[in-house]
Amino acid sequence: MGMHVRSEPVPVLLGRQRERQALDSLMEDLRSGRGWALVVRGEAGVGKSALLEYGAGAAPDMRVVRAAGVESEMELAFAGLHQLCAPLLDRLERLPAPQRDALGIAFGLRGGGAPDRFLVGLAVLTLLSEAAEGERPLLCLVDDAQWLDRVSAQVLAFVARRLLADPVGLIFAVRDPGRELGGLPDLEVRGLPDEEARTLLRSVVGVRLDERVRDRIVAETQGNPLALLELPRGLSPAQLAGGFGLTGAQAVPGRIEESFRSRLEALPAGTRLLLLVAAAEPVGDAVLVRAAAGRLGIAASAAAAAEADGLVEIGTRVRFRHPLVRSAVYRSASSAERHALHAALAEATDPQIDPDRRAWHRAQAAAGPDEEVAGELERSAARAEARNRVRGERRSWATLSKASRIPRISR
């Protein structure tokens, strides 16, 4: 028998006074017209995404745009940058011609030779400044920056170092800043202090814990909030009383994923399949996810159970509760299921509007050598060569196309 979990809501952000004060101070700088950038760094599940949400909530008078690194898109140059800039492209024509052309080519909006990286960086800086000028400050949130494609990370770091007199804020949440984001102002996020960790644990555990067991759980998770919320799920009172199933801090991300997989298995079949479709679609396009789900015969009502369980929100975009939810869902699928998911997503993707992503889904759907898919990827690579090669760098769809006759299955 699984343990009882309390039904009242758990605080989204417990404690974190130091981090909140830092963000509040930066928001005041934005309101005063001073731009800045911040790297929020820490391990998986430590609360970086929650701090981004706090930042968004602390900026009701600002425009907020978002992007999130997606592991499967790391080979696609400019993919992360496009996510962030897409809501602002109605201002593209206001940019100086060289910048406008460079960014338009990078995003596949117009033809031309390979764009200069410096011009792309200037174009993004000008675009963000234009979006903030004369209206309200602009807050840019980039989650899972460790999974940004390299060119996007370099361009955004270039922009971050030049935010001075414009009311533009840029926050990266990342596990490890790496070379691209190194040197930017940062805020390290660690596990909760013991007392706050105990409070969070009590908020989800419906049985009285022996103090020694409670302290062991807090110590082994090192106060990692997501671990404290997820690891006790599925344990019986007897198991919890003995502290069973908690194997040490080094295993925290894997243990959290295992907890999410257990919750996934308890959902109705249609709901689980819908979550698999959503996990296989990298950018959270809700229209595309619903279209692919319809092709697989999934009822529109299937989303209710997933949303009720707190795993995902499906509105204009699909947002998983945490990146580890998405990875846990995708890892739970069999090879045959992944082929079917990507095939449905490929069929639902308009070949005129997004031929490259359609080619990628077709490659993921192929169970073996497929000359038609290989040809489609080669054509995609040719398009990418024109817009993604930056000072000799040629990685993107071309990398995938070389292996297209034996399509790679993610993870």
Give the tens place of pLDDT for each residue, 167-188: 999 999 999 888 899 899 999 9
Asked if residue 390 and residue 284 are part of one domain, the reply reads: no
Q: Is residue 9 part of a domain?
A: no
Asked if residue 326 and residue 407 are part of one domain, the reply reads: no
Give percent of the chain above pLDDT 70: 82
Least confident of 144-153, 174-183, 234-243, 352-361: 234-243
Mean pLDDT taken over the chain: 81
pLDDT band at 204 (very low <50, low <70, confident <90, very high): confident
How far apart are alpha carbons 282 and 321 in whole angstroms?
Answer: 15
How far apart are alpha carbons 382 and 374 in whole angstroms?
Answer: 12
Asked if residue 171 and residue 29 are part of one domain, the reply reads: yes
pLDDT band at 247 (very low <50, low <70, confident <90, very high): very low
Asked if residue 139 and residue 26 are part of one domain, the reply reads: yes
Asked if residue 403 and residue 280 are part of one domain, the reply reads: no
* Residue 142 or residue 216, greater confidence: 142
**Looking at residue 92, what is its pLDDT?**
94
Mean pLDDT of 300-317: 82
Closest CA to 359 of 399, 368, 349, 367: 349
Radius of gyration of the chain (CA): 22
Asked if residues 229 and 9 have their Cβ atoms less than 8 Å apart, the reply is no
Least confident of 5-19, 154-168, 223-237: 5-19
How far apart are alpha carbons 109 and 387 in whole angstroms?
Answer: 10
Asked if residue 74 and residue 173 are part of one domain, the reply reads: yes
Give the count of domains, the chain. 4
How far apart are alpha carbons 168 and 29 in whole angstroms?
Answer: 10
Residues with Cβ within 8 Å of 169's Cβ and at least 6 positions away in sequence, in order, are 26, 27, 29, 30, 35, 36, 37, 38, 62, 137, 138, 139, 140, 163
Range of the domain at 161: 17-188
Model pTM score? 0.67
**DSSP, res 224:** -
**Looking at residue 401, what is its pLDDT?**
36
Q: Is residue 10 part of a domain?
A: no
Asked if residue 183 and residue 209 are part of one domain, the reply reads: no
Residue 107 has pLDDT above 60, yes or no: yes
Q: Is residue 362 part of a domain?
A: yes
Among 133, 153, 188, where does a domain finish?
Answer: 188
Asked if residue 298 and residue 376 are part of one domain, the reply reads: no
